[in-house]
């Protein structure tokens, strides 16, 4: 079950490639090479449309990437034969067993990946937002065993295995160049970083400028969180920051550099903005539209610390989910209502 990331980021102070084959294939097949945006398909609700209708919505809206939090077989069936690239999660409760038993990892991969040979798997996320507790020690070994199973199946170059973390792992983050990992997370993170380096896999990061803003309103300008600040807000040596998204991301890159992981790529595995359920001046449909629309545009380029390359990013979430617990905003991150109508206008092209 998905657990919403709560960002503890320290505040700032004062083209789609078209395959030229047969005409019918040309009309029907669009690759995902140019699409940097995906959508998280959460299912903590009892009123969502059938998965086949959801996949049809994605095709109609030009959504070419998807994150699925666990092996939902109805969704996997619906994805068969589609061009949608998939990130699928290994359930947190399965991590220990998989870490201790290669046969368990082999079985998980067989049931949830190899069985669906015509689904376009891209990443396997072993766990979501694991804290530095009892399960943490098993994440690295579970990643290794799932990756072993993937290599044995002949997909080692195509499917990368990682884990999804969130900014609570940072000790320092302002300015971004001071980014560093908390010491109590190092025993958990350092082996994982080594594994990711060895397999050329990315680190997955759930990050929410929204949470950073509401936890630090006195020091963060709302426009800086929404990508609408008119100029550089934070100057960090040679790097100038005009939005909080880049600042959070670069703080993690700086932290990786300090532990020998500077060559790793970060995939933003969740980000979003709630449209209701909180402060009526902040959690509005208009602010959610502004944030997500700007994310879609912004991630075509890099960050001040990592310029040039696009930032692969997954918006949270496809639907408002009525069974999520916690703050009322948790139920209102969706791009769409369960009846498939948009909460606000979003252009994925």
Instruction: List the domain range (segments joined by +) for residue 277.
Output: 23-331
**pLDDT given at position 273:** 98
Q: Are strands 313-316 and 239-241 parallel, antiparallel or unpaired?
A: unpaired
**pLDDT given at position 145:** 98
Residue 53 annotated among the catalytic residues of the structure: no
176 lies in some domain: yes
Domain count, the chain: 1
349 lies in some domain: no
**pLDDT given at position 30:** 31
The three-state DSSP-derived secondary structure of the chain is CCCCCCCCCCCCCCCCCCCCCCHHHHHHCCCCCCCCEEEEECCCCCCCCCHHHHHHHHHHHCCCEEEECCCCHHHHHHHCCCCCEEEEEECHHHHHHHHHCHHHHHHHHHHHCHHHCCCEEEEEEEEECCCCCCCHHHHHHHHHHHHHHHHHCCCCCCCEEEEEECHHHEEECCCHHHCEECHHHHHHHHHHHHHHHHHCCCEEEECCHHHHHHCCCCCCCHHHHCCCCCCCCEEECCEEECCHHHHHHHHHHHHHHHCCCCCCCEEEEEECCCCCCCCCCCCCHHHHHHHHHHHHHHCCCCCCCCCCCCCCEEEECCECCCCCCCCHHHHCCCCECCCCCECCCCCCC
6 lies in some domain: no
291 lies in some domain: yes
**pLDDT given at position 309:** 85
Which residue positions in the chain have pLDDT lower than 70?
1-35
338 lies in some domain: no
347 lies in some domain: no
pLDDT in tens, 291-300: 999 999 999 9
**pLDDT given at position 35:** 55
10 lies in some domain: no
Residue 238 annotated among the catalytic residues of the structure: no
The residue annotated as part of the active site, out of 129, 144, 321, 330, is 129
The residue annotated as part of the active site, out of 12, 85, 144, 270, is 270
14 lies in some domain: no
**pLDDT given at position 132:** 82
pTM greater than 0.85: yes
Q: What is the CATH number of the domain that holds 294?
A: 3.20.20.80
Q: Are strands 160-165 and 239-241 parallel, antiparallel or unpaired?
A: unpaired
pLDDT in tens, 58-116: 999 999 999 999 999 999 999 999 999 999 999 999 999 999 999 999 999 999 999 99
């Amino acid at each position: 079950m998905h657990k919403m990331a709560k960002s503890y980021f320290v505040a700032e102070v004062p083209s789609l490639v078209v395959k030229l084959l047969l005409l019918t294939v040309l009309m029907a097949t669009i690759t995902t090479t140019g699409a940097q945006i995906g959508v998280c398909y959460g299912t903590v609700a009892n009123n969502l449309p059938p998965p086949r209708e959801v996949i049809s919505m994605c095709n109609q809206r030009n959504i070419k990437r998807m994150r699925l939090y666990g092996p939902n077989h109805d969704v996997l069936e619906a994805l068969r034969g589609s061009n949608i690239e998939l990130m699928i999660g290994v359930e947190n409760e399965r991590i220990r067993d998989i870490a201790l038993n290669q046969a368990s990892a082999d079985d998980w991969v067989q049931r949830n990946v190899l069985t669906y040979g015509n689904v376009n798997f891209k990443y396997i996320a072993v766990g979501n937002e694991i804290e530095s507790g009892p399960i943490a020690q098993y994440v690295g070994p579970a990643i290794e065993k799932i990756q072993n199973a993937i290599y044995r199946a002949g997909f080692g170059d195509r499917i990368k295995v990682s884990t999804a973390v969130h900014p609570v792992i940072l000790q320092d983050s302002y300015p971004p160049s001071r980014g560093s990992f908390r010491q109590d997370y190092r025993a958990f993170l350092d082996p994982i970083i080594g594994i990711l380096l060895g397999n050329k896999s990315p680190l997955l990061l759930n990050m929410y400028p929204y949470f950073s803003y509401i936890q630090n309103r006195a020091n963060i300008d709302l426009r800086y969180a929404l990508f609408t600040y008119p100029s550089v807000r934070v100057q960090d040596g040679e790097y100038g920051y005009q939005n909080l998204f880049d600042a959070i991301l670069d703080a993690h890159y700086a932290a990786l550099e300090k532990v020998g992981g500077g060559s790793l790529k970060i995939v933003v595995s969740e980000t979003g903005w709630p449209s209701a359920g909180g402060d009526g001046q902040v959690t509005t449909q208009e602010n959610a539209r502004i944030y997500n629309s700007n994310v879609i545009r912004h991630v075509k380029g890099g960050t001040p610390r990592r310029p040039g390359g696009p930032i692969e990013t997954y918006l949270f979430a496809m639907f408002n989910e009525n069974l999520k617990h916690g703050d009322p905003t948790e139920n209102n991150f969706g791009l769409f209502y369960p009846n498939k109508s948009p909460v606000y206008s979003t252009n994925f092209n």
